[in-house]
Amino acid sequence: MDIAVKPVRVALVGNPNSGKTALFNALTGAHQKVANYAGVTVERKEGRVQTATGRSVSVLDLPGTYSLRARSPDEEVTRDAVLGRLKGETPPDVIVAVADATNLRLVLRLILELKAVGRPMVLALNMYDIAQRQGLRIDLEKLQAELGVPIVTTVATRKRGIDELVAQIDAAAGSTWSEGETWTAPDAAAIRSAHSRAEQIMRATVRPPERPDTLTGKVDAVLLHPVAGLAILMALLFVMFQAVFAWATPAMDAIEAGFGLLGAGVGAVVPDSGPVWPLVESLIVDGLIAGVGGVLVFLPQIIILFAFIILLEDFGYMARAAFLMDKIMGGAGLHGRAFIPLLSSFACAIPGVMAARVIDAKRDRLTTILVAPLMTCSARIPVYTLIIGAFIPQETVWGFANLQGLVMFGLYAAGIVSALVVSFVIRKIFWRGAVEPFMMELPAYKTPDVKSVLLNLWLRAKIFMERAARIILPLMILVWAASTFPYPPEGATLPAIDYSFAGMIGHALEPIFAPIGFNWQMVIALVPGMAAREVAVAALGTVYAVGDVDASVTALEALRTTIMAQWSLATGLSFLAWYVFAPQCVATLGVVKRELNSWKWMWVMVVYMFALAYLASFVTYRIAVALGGG
């Protein structure tokens, strides 16, 4: 007997949100490994479990799908994994179909498709607790007979039914099956017939509760109400943004201080002498530490934002929020599910772009990714506050509103409105078809499980950090080199950056930026600002030689005074308009390229955003000058 030597491979397949990951966690406990599939940015989770007979089973958690007719990258991975077409992946010996027992209709069709693949299969009827609570009556024996697949009822979050499931996997692994069946994608007729077969099975085996679940109905009547529901959603978003900006501050300050200390520590250790050491120090301190620190500083905000999103998702609310927003965003050509990615983009466009994976249809996903960077990410805040502080008076208008706050609000609104307009235009230019209809069963409300929320949060934070590190590090080195080399000549009087490539680029581009009121110092600052938007503030400090604005309050004050003296109001406003639209962050562009796996679309984004920025700055500048702000 050598069954212990070669593990049985099991793949968990099911609709999104059916509890695959929860089941995976219940099955494998701590014995799991997370990686990416080769060539695509889709997480691959594998874990191990031993059966009672001593068989070793390796379990693969797959992204959710509604059909093997894959339409999103996530779904393609699932399909290819099931069919054994994935590079470096052996096909599963047993398929475990994971079904949300309260939402059988959609999954029955998937199960029929999976059956056609011809591998041994077990059906885990998950969320059975909720089904029972709702009073759903499922005739398990009949369902088992109709499908010809063994069924186990499970409650993944309570680890119920897990032993039974493992036993069924064990049995299925021992069964023989007909290899050599070649799978072909189902055509429209096949899908229709699977659909009516699923309906038929549904009618034969599932009866609605005797007393319908009036509580969910009542709650939904409020939460999905076009007016009350939206008001509640807005209130939730308000609290969420308060949390993101207020609660994150101490942690962000700590991270900033930590990286500052790290930089100082390195500075103290590296010798000051010779031609090479100062360069090494500059690379490490100004390039790597400052650059990576400049991105990691957003981690607290991202964690808080994700905590809210994961919690609301687990409560069953997010699908409803997406449903509510679908009507509004649909008018602009965006899918309801774009809501979460766009929301994440307020912290940082990188997790936002990554979150767009939940959108099935390629075009909807593409549109979402293209407009995500228009959402005001927190990296713009330091730039906004510097300029607003310098040019907008601290005044009360209309008796209650703070003028500076109002301008800040206007900048956020400009981002949101332009995202809606741009996606509308993208639809008109590139594809005319309607937005995919909103197909997403509303899940039952449930209480989130603390452990799974924390695990999820940790995984998402980890993924953000890994991506950030992998994409940002090389870019940081590039931007640092551009602002450092070549060295200033002997006896140079201007700040060193003036003589560097960044300086040359700045001077060369100056004529292009003159019509929108930028001076050469600003243009130079834009170059290192490409690394991360807020770096532009430090770069302005460098070109105006007011000292290290990150390290001292007085330097920041000095920079503000210098700007007030040297820029006109029109120039200041033009700079603000630029920052609303310009694709000022190469890390985001890198992630967009990776997620879409396309240079073309990344360039489409770069070009349209620069064009918008230029146009907005031009209009702002000219109007401000005409009104006497020049």
Q: Which does 380 bind (CB under 5 to 8 A by kind): Mg ion, ligand GTP, none?
A: none
Q: CA 82, 19, 361, 38: dihedral to nearest 10 degrees?
A: -50
Which of residues 11, 17, 102, 577 is near ligand GTP by CB under 6 A? 17
Which of residues 47, 64, 541, 629 is near ligand GTP by CB under 6 A? 64
Facing residues of 138 across strands?
206
SS3 113: helix
Q: Which is nearer to ligand GTP, 27 or 390 (CB)?
A: 27
How far is residue 305 from each of residues 71, 406, 511, measured CA to CA in Å? 28, 24, 41
> Is residue 142 within 8 Å of 204, Cβ to Cβ?
yes
Question: Does 17 contact Mg ion by CB under 5 A?
Answer: no
Q: Which does 22 bind (CB under 5 to 8 A by kind): Mg ion, ligand GTP, none?
A: ligand GTP
Q: Which does 43 bind (CB under 5 to 8 A by kind): Mg ion, ligand GTP, none?
A: none
Question: Does 452 contact ligand GTP by CB under 6 A?
Answer: yes
Question: Does 20 contact ligand GTP by CB under 6 A?
Answer: yes
> Is residue 447 within 8 Å of 127, Cβ to Cβ?
no
Q: 486: cis peptide before it, omega within 30°?
A: yes
Q: In what order do the strands lie in the sheet with 94-100?
A: 32-36, 43-50, 56-61, 8-14, 94-100, 121-126, 151-153
Q: Which of 516, 512, 514, 540 is nearest to 526 (CA)?
A: 540
Q: Which DSSP symbol is given to 385?
A: H
**Rounded Cα distance, 284 and 278, in Å:** 10
Supply the minimum distance, in Å, between the C-beta of residue 12 and ligand GTP.
8
Q: Would you give the distance in Å from CA 465 to the centre of its chain?
A: 12
Q: Which stretch binds ligand GTP (CB under 6 A): 152-160, 384-392, 501-509, 589-597?
A: 152-160
Q: Which DSSP symbol is given to 516?
A: G
Question: Does 127 contact ligand GTP by CB under 6 A?
Answer: yes
Q: Which is nearer to ligand GTP, 63 or 120 (CB)?
A: 63
Facing residues of 59 across strands?
10, 47
Q: Which is nearer to ligand GTP, 169 or 570 (CB)?
A: 169
Which of residues 18, 21, 72, 168 is near Mg ion by CB under 5 A? 21
> Is residue 383 within 8 Å of 536, Cβ to Cβ?
yes
**Rounded Cα distance, 388 and 386, in Å:** 6
Question: Does 423 contact ligand GTP by CB under 6 A?
Answer: no
x/- site string to ligand GTP, residues 97 to 126, per CB under 6 A?
Answer: -----------------------------x
Which of residues 13, 155, 348, 570 is near ligand GTP by CB under 6 A? 155
Question: Does 18 contact ligand GTP by CB under 6 A?
Answer: yes
Q: Which does 16 bind (CB under 5 to 8 A by kind): Mg ion, ligand GTP, none?
A: ligand GTP
Supply the minimum distance, in Å, between the C-beta of residue 574 and Mg ion.
46
Cα dihedral across residues 194, 176, 93, 455: positive or negative? positive
Residues 292-331 that bind ligand GTP (CB under 6 A): 314
Q: Which does 446 bind (CB under 5 to 8 A by kind): ligand GTP, Mg ion, none?
A: ligand GTP
Question: Does 21 contact ligand GTP by CB under 6 A?
Answer: yes
Query: Strands, DSSP E only, in 179-277?
Result: 206-207
Q: Which does 155 bind (CB under 5 to 8 A by kind): Mg ion, ligand GTP, none?
A: ligand GTP
Provide the token pair at 84. Answer: 């054994």
Question: Does 19 contact ligand GTP by CB under 6 A?
Answer: yes
- At position 613, the amino acid (one-letter code) is A
Q: Which is nearer to ligand GTP, 130 or 419 (CB)?
A: 130
Residue nearest to ligand GTP (CB): 64
Provide the token pair at 434. Answer: 């309607």
Q: How many residues bind Mg ion (CB under 5 A)?
A: 2
Q: Which is nearer to ligand GTP, 21 or 344 (CB)?
A: 21
Q: Which of 628, 241, 291 is nearest to 477 (CA)?
A: 291
Q: Which is nearer to ligand GTP, 155 or 388 (CB)?
A: 155
Question: Does 28 contact ligand GTP by CB under 6 A?
Answer: no
Q: What angle do CA 554, 411, 260 make, to 5 degrees?
A: 35
Question: Does 51 contact Mg ion by CB under 5 A?
Answer: no
Question: Does 153 contact ligand GTP by CB under 6 A?
Answer: no
SS3 10: strand
**Rounded Cα distance, 406 and 389, in Å:** 13
Q: Which stretch binds ligand GTP (CB under 6 A): 112-120, 127-135, 293-301, 586-594?
A: 127-135
How far is residue 475 from each of residues 354, 380, 505, 529, 602, measured CA to CA in Å? 19, 19, 17, 12, 16
Q: Which stretch binds Mg ion (CB under 5 A): 21-29, 36-44, 398-406, 502-510?
A: 21-29
Q: How many residues bind ligand GTP (CB under 6 A)?
A: 22
Phi and psi at 121, nearest 5°, equal: -140, 150
Q: Which is nearer to ligand GTP, 11 or 156 (CB)?
A: 156
Question: Does 47 contact ligand GTP by CB under 6 A?
Answer: no
**Rounded Cα distance, 339 and 287, in Å:** 35
Which of residues 195, 197, 363, 446 is near ligand GTP by CB under 6 A? 446
Provide the token pair at 365. Answer: 């996903």
Q: Which does 506 bind (CB under 5 to 8 A by kind): ligand GTP, Mg ion, none?
A: none
Binding stretches for Mg ion (CB under 5 A): 20-21
Binding stretches for ligand GTP (CB under 6 A): 14, 16-22, 63-64, 126-127, 129-130, 155-157, 314, 446, 448-449, 452
